[in-house]
Structure 1
Amino acid sequence: MAAIPSAREVEIAAFLDANGLAGAAREPLAGDASARRYERLCKADGSTLILVDTPAPAEDLGPFIAIGAELAAIGLSVPTILASDVERGLALQEDFGSETFSRLLADGADSWPLYGMATDALITIHRGWPEGAARRLALPVYDPALFVEQTRLFLDAYVPAALGRSLNDGDRSDFDTAWRMVLEPVCTGAPSLLLRDYHVDNLMRLPRPGVKAAGLIDFQSAGWGPRAYDLVSLLEDARRDVAPDLAGAMVARYLAAFPETDAAAFRRAMAVLGAVRHARIVAIFVRLALSQGRRSYLVHLPRVWRLLEAQLAKPELAPVAGWFDRHLPPAARAAFVVPETP
């Protein structure tokens, strides 16, 4: 007996039929840490499209389309949206192929040109993002308060697993205070679009000239905040080691494009924002393992802890490092083994 299709599958089938794709072959694609799903649709003429399936509430599909339009307007490559049903979280978009930067690197491609393209894309964004676009798109503002709020996931997901208990209100308040102290100096200056998940898994090589050769595919959760965040996201990758000389050269490449920028202050901002990102990623990976059984991300925990510890050793992170020293002994850090869930 044939399986009865789910309500979601019925919605997808109706969406495909409405767009002349009822007979297209469907091939599931690997996803990410989100709940979104992607399928490659193969049409009878051999051309392909990507089906984006964003489960309810489909809050990020609208922003993806709107932000993508702004990025395209300043000369960057984003997938063209061919059809969408934002209310149901479904879209058809241009197929950028399979040459993610991460796959190319795994196959032995030279890392320097790829990271150069990625850095140049950030330069293009930070030079050309239109005035007023953040307000028009109602982007969340990544100020110290929002960053501190996001670091609390570390308290909620990682600390109880590592220590076997939650922290009291005083310890949690001290955590907030320490992060606020280090964040306030680096959230000043001219902000720009903050993509938030900018790394080689979310970049694709395209046969296009110049900066258009870097295809951007994940920006639906973008915000407005410090320019250093996306560069440190690219160069301190949770999933792969980036050679120090390459990372240093890309920072220099970026700063050369903005000679008015205080280079020392920018590097301090990278350190603080890198620590924010690493602490949150540690928590996300542990939460995925414990709540969803998705343990594949745990292989990256030692790397993320190394990156976090390297930032905590810098003077600009002293208040946060002090909190970690008081509350998380070494055995509760990189050496901590996440237990199996029943």
Structure 2
Amino acid sequence: MPPIVLDLPDETATKRLGTDLALVLQAGDCLALHGDLGAGKSTLSRALLRTIAEDPELEVPSPTFTLVQGYDLRLPVAHFDLYRLSDPSELDELGFDEALANGICLVEWPDKAGTALPKSTIDIHFSFTPEGGRHLSISAPEATLSRVKRALQIRSFLDRSGYPNAERRHLIGDASTRAYESIHPAGEDTRLILMDAPKRPNGPPIRDGKRYSQIAHIAEDVYPFVAIDQALRERRFSAPAILASDCEAGILLLEDLGCQGILDEAGRPIAERYQASVACLAAIHNTPFEREISLDGGRIHRIPDFDRTAMKMEVELLIDWHLPWKRSGLKVSDDERLSYLNIWDALIDQLADSETSLVLRDFHSPNVIWRGDRTGHDRIGILDFQDAMIGPSAYDVASIIQDARVTVERALADRLMADYLAIRRLSPTFDEGLFQKSWAIMAAQRACKLCGLWVRLKDRDGKDGYMKHMPRTLRHLAVAFEHPALAPLRDWCIEAGIELPESAA
């Protein structure tokens, strides 16, 4: 891949590049800065470090005499100045390999390292322009250089959207390919949210000529988010306003709904906020949504059905990932798989008469914002709905009452269900008994999916942290099994060796 070539007219532009680079660097990255004294290497380094530290006043001393300066930040950074290095072998004594294994290495005068720097190094060559600015050439392996290009693409988007020189800060990533930044416009005391959601790779067909995302109805671009956001806002629910967009590039600039969630400082549910969330959900289920949503430019988004194929694809995560993990790598037999999926076919058949509505799919604590200064349903800010479908309304009720990441004690869970049912009973068409059965089936469907997903995130994606949710997810499955309709699945799970809480056995 050809190098990226930039002309930076002044020190401000150099600092801005340092900020942009800080948002795409990952643990294991080595950034090598080549250039004469005064070329801008230290300016870029300070901006990069201060961005990662989220501290514009961070003291960044030159490591010229110490050779290395370490920073224990969100991403650990080791800043090397090799000008006084006598021999590349001295890098071992400076702890270069260890620093690279744990975080980022920022290297000035990298030529002194000989061939010791990794092949994946991002090389930035600085030179002077006749006008007094700086000319930069950035080269790296294709995958790494693509990250740098993405950072510059986002900066260009902000510039042309009316936010030049906006301050960018890392906000959060999630289990998908999306990442988020907080954007602070220059001269304004406000914050916006940038969604960085590049189109997902197509990937190979895995079944009936379709990719996993097509089967499970996982959004492959930002158009579904834009469509559902529009539909929610038109019905006066609090989804974020979209202030600027480049949908083809997968970049959205959003209203900041706030930073208060529905958990207390110890990470426990705040009952009032969960109750308001359930009331908001009941209002959504009492509101009709058209299946087709017209967007600017003539595009139409058709909300997909949460159909049999999608449900079964998700529950297969239990037998494809969870059970092999429990069995030390031993896969389920063909007979086990067939009996498991036959049980699910029978359960899905029982959903035929269930009430359907817009299913947001991930309506739980990470995606609910508390806006205490508002009233009514406007108090509940809604995020992360790009994978929304039309399906059993009970699914989202299971999602919030059986919060995947938070322990909702049984007394509160029962109160939330009672609150939801009290609101829905006001509708003459609401069938409470049918809803209770649908809730148990969809709670089990979601729990089976998550039991497998946590293992897949660990084994395939190296994200071990999600495994802490496994005991809670198994408890959720046990609660779903309390409904008699789930007896066949409960018996299958016990026979298969899934470790349910004792009350479920």
Q: Deviations over 1:165-196 (max 9, x none)?
A: 22233321211111121222134233100011
Query: Are the equivalent residues in 1 in contact too, given 2:451–2:474 (CA < 8 A)?
Result: yes
- From 318, 325, 330, the counterpart of 2:494: 325
Q: Aligned residue for 2:271? A: 112
Q: Does 1:181 align with 2:352?
A: no
Distance 1:202 1:63 in 2: 17
In structure 2, the residue corresponding to 1:257 is in which secondary structure? Answer: helix
Distance 2:495 2:323 in 1: 13
Q: Aligned residue for 2:191? A: 48
- From 325, 347, 360, the counterpart of 1:161: 325
Query: Are the equivalent residues in 2 in contact too, given 1:182–1:272 (CA < 8 A)?
Result: yes
> Where does 1:200-215 land on structure 2 (aligned, <5 Å)?
200-206=365-371, 207-215=373-381
Q: After alignment, is 186-195 or 229-238 more displaced? A: 186-195
Q: Does 1:265 align with 2:407?
A: no
Query: Are the equivalent residues in 1 in contact too, given 2:289–2:357 (CA < 8 A)?
Result: no
Distance 1:300 1:116 in 2: 23
> Where does 1:168-317 land on structure 2 (aligned, <5 Å)?
168-206=333-371, 207-259=373-425, 260=428, 261-317=430-486
Q: Aligned residue for 1:65? A: 226
Query: Are the equivalent residues in 1 in contact too, given 2:394–2:435 (CA < 8 A)?
Result: yes
In structure 1, the residue corresponding to 2:248 is in which secondary structure? Answer: helix
The TM-score with structure 1 as length reference comes to 0.90
Distance 2:452 2:268 in 1: 31
Q: After alignment, is 107-116 or 307-316 more displaced? A: 107-116
Distance 1:121 1:324 in 2: 34
Q: Aligned residue for 2:165? A: 23
Query: Are the equivalent residues in 2 in contact too, given 1:41–1:49 (CA < 8 A)?
Result: yes
Distance 2:452 2:378 in 1: 34
Q: Aligned residue for 1:146? A: 310
- The one-letter code matched in structure 2 to 1:191 is T
Root-mean-square deviation (CA), in Å?
2.3
In structure 2, the residue corresponding to 1:140 is in which secondary structure? Answer: coil
Distance 1:282 1:329 in 2: 10
CA 1:197 to 1:109, structure 2 compared with 1: closer, same or farther past 3 Å?
closer
Query: Are the equivalent residues in 2 in contact too, given 1:179–1:319 (CA < 8 A)?
Result: no
User: What's the offset of the Cα at 1:133?
Assistant: 4.5
Q: Deviations over 1:229-275 (max 9, x none)?
A: 10111001121111222222222222222223222221221111111
User: What's the offset of the Cα at 1:224?
Assistant: 0.5
User: What's the offset of the Cα at 1:151?
Assistant: 0.6
Distance 1:110 1:299 in 2: 17
Q: Does 1:122 align with 2:277?
A: no
CA 1:134 to 1:17, structure 2 compared with 1: closer, same or farther past 3 Å?
closer
- The one-letter code matched in structure 1 to 2:277 is A
- The one-letter code matched in structure 2 to 1:301 is M
Distance 2:467 2:267 in 1: 24
User: What's the offset of the Cα at 1:284?
Assistant: 1.0
Q: After alignment, is 17-26 or 136-145 more displaced? A: 136-145
CA 1:97 to 1:329, structure 2 compared with 1: closer, same or farther past 3 Å?
closer
Distance 1:75 1:63 in 2: 18
Distance 2:195 2:283 in 1: 27
Distance 1:328 1:139 in 2: 37
Q: Aligned residue for 1:92? A: 253
Q: After alignment, is 51-60 or 290-299 more displaced? A: 51-60
Q: How many residues align?
A: 331
- The one-letter code matched in structure 1 to 2:283 is T
CA 1:137 to 1:190, structure 2 compared with 1: closer, same or farther past 3 Å?
farther
CA 1:109 to 1:171, structure 2 compared with 1: closer, same or farther past 3 Å?
closer
The TM-score with structure 2 as length reference comes to 0.62
Where is the helix percentage greater, Structure 1 or Structure 2?
1
Q: After alignment, is 135-144 or 270-279 more displaced? A: 135-144
- Structure 1: 5+ residue runs without aligned partners? 335-342
Q: Deviations over 1:116-161 (max 9, x none)?
A: 2111211221111334447963122113332112111222222222
Distance 1:120 1:202 in 2: 16
Higher RCO (CA < 8 A, seq sep 6+): 1
Larger radius of gyration between Structure 1 and Structure 2:
2
CA 1:126 to 1:314, structure 2 compared with 1: closer, same or farther past 3 Å?
closer
User: What's the offset of the Cα at 1:109?
Assistant: 8.5
